[in-house]
């Protein structure tokens, strides 16, 4: 006679393990910390080497110059570059009560990054069994993202820019953690190869309910040829918000900031 096994969801008594309530509390902590943030904007491309961090830093600085409080969360834990791009020296992070103070750029951009925590030249290493580390490492990186969102004193911001690493995994983690999907600013270079990779990421973001704010085409008028920026903007019916040459001047970022500020 087969055993009477019920499903997980049919067992509804509190089991005292406290796990569901802890997960709920983690999400509440994220929401509470971001309560003063006007909008979370994920800067993504789905492709490496297109200048996401460069564009994120430029936009953050321009927002600050325009008097709009901005923060940058460097979500590329294995290749963090935002503090260097924002000209933030590595210094001690101050713990105040239940939060860590973000670092400040000369323009006043609030920033937090793994680069502020790691030893020079050392890769991000986690304590744990090496065997099958792929099982837990991504989970730890998702927990890191959660703590960067929930445990940094972001305060009142007009925009919190999240600089994502290549690929779509970190974006999915961000969607899972936030109360609502973030808006997305996409960065590409002009080539057809970039267009094809970035298209997949944009589709992924849209399918998860994210609003696509626009496309930044980076490294134009250089060695790369193509019309990826225009093509993606046309295909997704969103604006091409900036075409950024090599060695751009500040006006490019100021114009981009104006366009971003006009988005709700």
Cα end-to-end span (Å), the chain? 62
Sign of the CA dihedral with 206 first, then 210, 211, and 216 last:
negative
Residue with Cβ nearer other proteins (131 or 237): 131
Structure tokens belonging to residue 151: 């445990």
Least distance (Å) from other proteins to the CB of residue 166? Answer: 21
3-state secondary structure of 36: helix
Q: Hey, which residues does 215 pair with through a beta bridge?
A: 186, 240
Least distance (Å) from other proteins to the CB of residue 177? Answer: 12
3-state secondary structure of 84: helix
Q: Which residue has the tokens 């496309």?
A: 215
DSSP state for residue 202 in the 8-state scheme: H
Q: Which residues bind other proteins (CB under 8 A)?
A: 3-6, 8, 11-13, 15-19, 21-23, 26, 29, 90, 92-100, 116-119, 122-129, 131-132, 135-136, 139-140, 143-144, 146-148, 151-152
Least distance (Å) from other proteins to the CB of residue 58? Answer: 27
Residue with Cβ nearer other proteins (79 or 226): 79
Residue with Cβ nearer other proteins (19 or 237): 19
Residue with Cβ nearer other proteins (126 or 246): 126
Q: 56: buried, middle or exposed (CB in 10 Å: 19+, 13-18, 0-12)?
A: buried
Going edge to edge, which strands form the sheet with 110-112? 103-104, 110-112, 70-74, 157-163, 37-44, 183-188, 212-220, 240-245
Residue with Cβ nearer other proteins (66 or 90): 90
Residue with Cβ nearer other proteins (133 or 255): 133
Residue with Cβ nearer other proteins (71 or 229): 71
Structure tokens belonging to residue 254: 């100021």
Least distance (Å) from other proteins to the CB of residue 40? Answer: 19
Least distance (Å) from other proteins to the CB of residue 218? Answer: 30
3-state secondary structure of 5: coil
Q: Hey, which residues does 152 pair with through a beta bridge?
A: 100
Least distance (Å) from other proteins to the CB of residue 26? Answer: 6
């Amino acid at each position: 006679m087969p055993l009477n096994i019920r499903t997980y969801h049919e067992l509804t008594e509190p089991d005292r393990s406290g796990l569901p309530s802890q997960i709920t509390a983690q999400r509440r902590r994220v929401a509470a910390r971001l309560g003063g943030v006007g909008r979370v904007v994920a800067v993504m491309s789905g492709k490496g080497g297109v200048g996401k961090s460069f564009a994120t830093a430029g936009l953050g600085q321009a927002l600050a110059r325009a008097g709009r409080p901005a923060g940058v969360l460097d979500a590329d834990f294995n290749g963090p570059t935002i503090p260097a791009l924002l000209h933030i020296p590595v210094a001690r992070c101050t713990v105040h009560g239940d939060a860590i103070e973000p670092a400040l750029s000369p323009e006043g951009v609030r920033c937090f990054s793994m680069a502020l925590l790691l030893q020079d030249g050392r890769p991000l290493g986690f304590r744990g069994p090496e065997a099958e580390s792929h099982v837990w490492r991504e989970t730890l990186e998702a927990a890191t993202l959660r703590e960067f969102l929930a445990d940094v004193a972001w305060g009142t911001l007009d925009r919190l820019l999240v600089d994502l690493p290549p690929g779509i995994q970190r974006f999915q983690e961000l969607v899972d953690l936030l109360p609502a999907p973030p808006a997305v600013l996409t960065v590409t270079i002009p080539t057809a190869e970039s267009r094809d990779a970035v298209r997949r990421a944009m589709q992924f973001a849209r399918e998860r309910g994210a609003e696509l704010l626009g496309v930044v085409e980076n490294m134009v008028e250089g060695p790369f040829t193509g019309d990826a920026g225009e093509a993606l903007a046309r295909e997704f019916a969103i604006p091409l918000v900036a075409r950024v040459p090599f060695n751009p001047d500040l006006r490019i970022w100021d114009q981009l900031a104006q366009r971003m500020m006009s988005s709700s």
